[in-house]
Structure 1
Amino acid sequence: MENRCKSSLLFSVFCLIVLTQLLIWVTTKQFRVFGPSDPIVAAPGGEAVLPCSVFPAMNVENMQELRWFRDRFSEAVLVYRDQEEQKEGQMPGYSQRTSLVKDQFHQGKAAVRIQNVQPSDSGIYVCHFKQGLFYEEAILELKVAAMGTVPKVYIKGPEDGGLRVVCMTSGWYPEPRVRWRDSRGENLPVFSETHTKDAGGLFSTETSLVVRDSSVEYVSCSTFNPILGQEKSMAMFIPEPFFPQVSHWKPAFYVILTMTGLLVLGASFLIKIAHSLSLKVQLEWGKLQREKDELQKTKADALRTTSALKEELDRRKAAYSAAWRKAQLYADWCKEHFQAWTFTLDPASAHPILAISQDRMSVTRKDITMCLDDLFSVLGSEGVSSARYYWEVKLTNMEGSEWILGVCREGVDRKEFNFESPDKGFWTVGRSSSGYWAYIDSGRASLSTRQTPQSLGVFVDYPEGDISFYNMSDMSHIFSFHEDSFSGTLFPYFRIKSGNVSMTISSMASVSEREEGEEGEEGEQQEEEGEGEEGEQQEEGKKGEDSPFLQHARDTPLP
């Protein structure tokens, strides 16, 4: 009896512990992490604070882990775990320079203080808050910049037929831009320019110019910081007596001597032809006057024509803009100019945790409970290296899942933990716990969708360097990447970060049948419209030389 009571008591305690852990896991899952939306600016050698906060507000002192890192999760700026700062995994460059700000832990706020800020500290940071199996992240940006001294402007002396003026300033970061302006506000060419960098990484500049126009009353020197978008300037008045005096007797002597010789040699000749020359001048004057009148008339006609063309262009732009906003079937229009790309998934490129269907057209995760810092990705069996192609990807079981899809350059590193950005050879969009995103060079760009995408269209214009994504559920545009050009082969890219989502490459045959059905419905509507439709087709024929964009814009009624 006693053993039975002890067993019952132990079982009750065990159940209580399990329920407590489940309650902690469920409650800690309901938070999000936010950072400042604007970049944090700090001066070299100064101090920078990188704050993050959770919502709803909760005490983060007992949170399992707080981490700030740069490019890689494993190389941290600061790690706070088990209520202590951890040195393991911290980047050597931040050792002895970072500390955790804890005075607002009870309000759900934490921050990293970086002392002795260096130019290399500038860039993107990620704060990572984890409790149990759940974690959230926020992105911050730190810019290192410093405003230097007000420029010092002084006159050095005469040089190269003018007056040399010097501008000096120091204590800037990054290297500032220096511009000279005259009293009319116009830029003046720089005569010389030198830049030096001190031990603290701050820049000093010395520039000069030579003023040769004595009518210039003053010049100003302005120094501009490209990161802060601020400048400091100083003006210098230049009195006319400072200009070097030029001797005028030599030019006057040469002019008088030349005129005397011409008068002596040409006096008799001028007397004989004076009358005929006067008549010729009058005739030429009349001819020039007529040509001037014709030129003014031609100019007036050209201005009227230009004004009419501008009004027409503005009208077409307005119509195009209105039509673009109303174009719900733009993705179908793209299909007229893109070829359907037929391919299957490449099992050899798939991560072991991914399951590829027997027909190699679908991918899911084998184990959705594992939470690993790895890139669970797979590539298409064939790539695009020319022309224009598109394909569609059907998404199912998306609830609570995180995924990424798009294209990547052949040979990219798919094992390194980072964001799939264009500078690393990826052009992708995806979904995380905080919404839909496009992964760009500077981090992530938030996307808004009118309707949850059940199918995504990927359009690759290789010659134009353009990759566009469309929500095929409502035919709306999602995001576009614009590159100068592509190099190498681009392969379809699929990544499942978490959840039970399934990605399926839509069969191009089914897509064609669907399009044929839509064309049949459109044909019946055209027969019912009759002669009115024929009039519109004749008017479209007159627009033959315009692009499809301008035709669509002109044919769509303004809102």
Structure 2
Amino acid sequence: MHCLCLCLTEMRSIIVLLLLNILTDCSVSFTVKVPPGPVVAHVGSTVILPCWISPAQNAEALEIRWYRHGQFSNTVLLYRHGNIQDEQEETFRNRSSLTPLSDLSGGLKGGDVSLQLETITIQDEALFHCYVSGDNGYDSAELELKATAPGSAPVLFPRPLDDGRLNVSCSSSGWYPEPNITWTSDQGKTLRPAAVSHHRAADGLFSVHSWTTVSPSDAQLVSCSVSTTTGESKEGKVDIQGIISSDSSDPWKALFITVIICALLGLAALILYKYRSKPAGKKQAGTDCENGPVEERKVPVNINIEDLRKHAEQITIDRENISPDLKVTADCKCVRDSPEYHHTAEGFPYQLCAFGAQRFTSGRHYWEVELARENTPAKNYWLIGVAKHGNHCGKDRSAVTPSCGFWFLCSDGENGFYPNTETPIYLSVTPRPERLGVLLDYDEGLLQFYSVKESKHLLTMHTRFSDSIVPLFNPGVGDICPLKIVDCPVEEDSPAGVTVPLLNN
């Protein structure tokens, strides 16, 4: 009897397990898949986190929930009942969307539930969960997002010491994650740094500073390499043989060199004083404007607009950071002065500023602005350029200088064209641009302007950018035409039926 009871108990357990397996097999009709390893994206870029269901099936009627680890209810994006829901973390609002990984994936109908994030920040680094559920079951998978930022090229500064050696310092900024620094000689020998220090700015980016001592007899060149664990690397070099000669210890020669240097500095100061005392005049188009110590660069004569468009960005206007006297279209592409606004003060209305929603901390970025419409003359008043993120435009020209974090080209009607350099400079630009191209090279410290219709270079501004940089727009007052940001056209030789953006962030 006891054995019979045991047998019945075991049979009952087996039946329960079989029923559970059957129910499980019926409820789980798909599996959520993500690629192995982390997804790495540059700060300021756009990235797609791949996720799909297997076997492939139509996901339009399913619930798709993207969230960061441990924050199931605080979603990055929630798709339910065939629509994106207005329930998400505030930091991801207007930055997240369901975007197919490729044109061949079939999108939601093909089971592609990939997430696209725009304007990546360091704070976006996390484990992201892709959760899909339906009437017949649910499944999820996690994917790691890592942010990276390639900093500026290292700047080396050598300083002679009393014992004949050189103290060489190396500095670079704008890195993420925290970078490493390596010193080497032209003979391939690794040099030991005397010190290395890191500093993290408020935006989360790192700067690094180091110095080492070296004898001119030990090396011809000294290089400083800054790199991160994500593979970003930049190097700077200095020729130390040209700095200290073998007979530099001769005191009479040192005195002679000192006298010569003082004389040259005095002559340079006199020339600068006389130059600044002259009234500002006209300067021809195709000009290089310097805002700080920069090296000489040559401006290309033949401009290929298609080459510039390879760096094209999809720019939109930030509605939350705009002058109340401006009107913006629903697509955030077009801006003009409000009909209720009346400009009573003299001079250009610098306060009517709109800022781009995209932020840049590295790389090259290009966009175009339409300044004319069919059968309508080109705008007379506009201001286009870039600014540090978080800046606010003042009413006076002295409040929007490069030292205040603004760089732009302005068209001020009869007053002509001018950049916002510390020393006033006016440009002769003919014909008046109907479409303006803007190229921002963050790493090289360049801001260039082009007349797209004429394929003509207008102006290059040199500077050193820091922190996040955003596009800057001001439509002026009184023109019939608005100021419109246009999306650059795609290449005509793209495969049929496939739309390929010119820039993959």
TM-score class normalised by the smaller sequence = 0.3 to 0.5
Structure with the bigger percentage of helix: 1
- Higher relative contact order (CA closer than 8 Å, sequence separation 6+): 2
Q: TM-score, normalised by structure 2?
A: 0.40
- Larger-Rg structure: 1
Q: TM-score, normalised by structure 1?
A: 0.36
